[in-house]
Amino acid sequence: MMIIMRTDATQEDIDNIVSRVKSKQLQAHLINGEERTVIGVVGDGRPVEPDQFVRMPGVDQVTPISRPYKLASREFHPENTVIQLKGLEIGSNQIFIIGGPCAVESRAQLLDTAVKIKESGAHALRGGAFKPRTSPYSFQGMGKEGLEILAEAREMTGLPIVTEATSPDLVPMIAKYTDVIQIGARNMQNYALLQAVGKSNCPALLKRGMSATINDFLMAAEYILSKGNPNVILCERGIRTFETATRNTTDINAIPVLKSLTHLPVLLDPSHSTGHWEYVTSLARAGIAAGADGLIIEVHPNPIEALSDGAQSLKPKRFTELIEQVNAISQAMGRELAPLTSKTISPEVIQ
């Protein structure tokens, strides 16, 4: 439920409410608005009587939240959540674009890609240091060395980095290197991992599971939010259906549906949605037109030699064209691309 405080409520009134909530073995989540404070109350599912709070000093009204995902719902947080990332915004009127390879394969490959996507107009760099693969014989990533290369790319270009955590024990180490922790589709319902990321306070990019409903997706986000991390970015990446012409089926409906149900930012991953580079730009345009707050695109300087997901990776030139087209659609909708970092790229020769 939500406890909505009066505009003249004092800090003591708010503290007393929070203390009462905690005494009931419940959690209190505060939203400090310009005019009033809202206290979200969540717990283990046991019913809570509003009368316990409605007569307390400073309380205006107590309203139940009908959705099972309490903290992720627009009932709890009507305004869009805007995540601040190195001076940039995700979830505002600006469109945020993440580009980079599926996996960090070498220092030369990653730094070359980072420089090129920055020149194309990307706002952040993606790259997997730890890769959950269907086959145990596939490339599993470079591990900590990959994280160090990503950090070097950030230092060179100024681009914040996005990389995946595959298990709870890796979260503390990854959080030291990255700006956003990605939780992949295979781990969307890895609840121990979700809780670990929630405790890290590092922004999280949560991808929808391949067979997950939107309710499942938002309940996964709730795990992260419930542990005190408010910075969750949702990512639609296609779901598994009977269709085999593409890798997955892009649920373009999910974008406006999510925007209506939750205050969290929503991105689209057209690379995993299609599995074919030829379709990525078309889907990217559709995602922005549908209301997505940004895109995450796989880019590789030489896709034919990529150790993973080369078939769906764009070459830098095509990535530049994608951004130009997405920018035109954004402007037609009264939005704009996020500003680019002004950091000058080092003249170092990448070998």
* In the chain, where the domains are located: 2-63, 83-337
Residue 124: its H or E element:
strand 124-126
Q: Which fold has domain 2-63?
A: Alpha-Beta Plaits (3.30.70)
Query: With 0-12 CB in 10 A as exposed, 13-18 as middle and 19+ as buried, what is 137?
Result: exposed
Crossing angle (nearest 10°) for helices 214-226 and 254-261: 40
**Edge-to-edge order in the sheet of strand 59-63:** 27-32, 37-42, 2-5, 59-63
Considering only 73-82, 109-118, 134-143, which range has the smallest mean pLDDT? Answer: 134-143
304: its two tokens: 């034919």
Considering only 33-47, 105-119, 167-181, 287-301, which range has the smallest mean pLDDT? Answer: 33-47
H-only helix segments in 6-163: 11-23, 51-54, 107-120, 144-157
User: What pLDDT was estimated at residue 345?
Assistant: 61
Q: What is the pLDDT of residues 7-46, one digit of tens each?
A: 999 999 999 999 998 888 888 888 887 778 888 888 766 6
Say if 2-63 and 83-337 have the same CATH topology. no
Q: What is the CATH number of domain 83-337?
A: 3.20.20.70
Q: DSSP code of 142?
A: -
207: its two tokens: 């991808």
User: What pLDDT was estimated at residue 66?
Assistant: 82
- Say whether pLDDT at 277 is over 90: yes
User: What pLDDT was estimated at residue 286?
Assistant: 97
Tell me, yes or no, if the pTM score tops 0.85.
Answer: yes
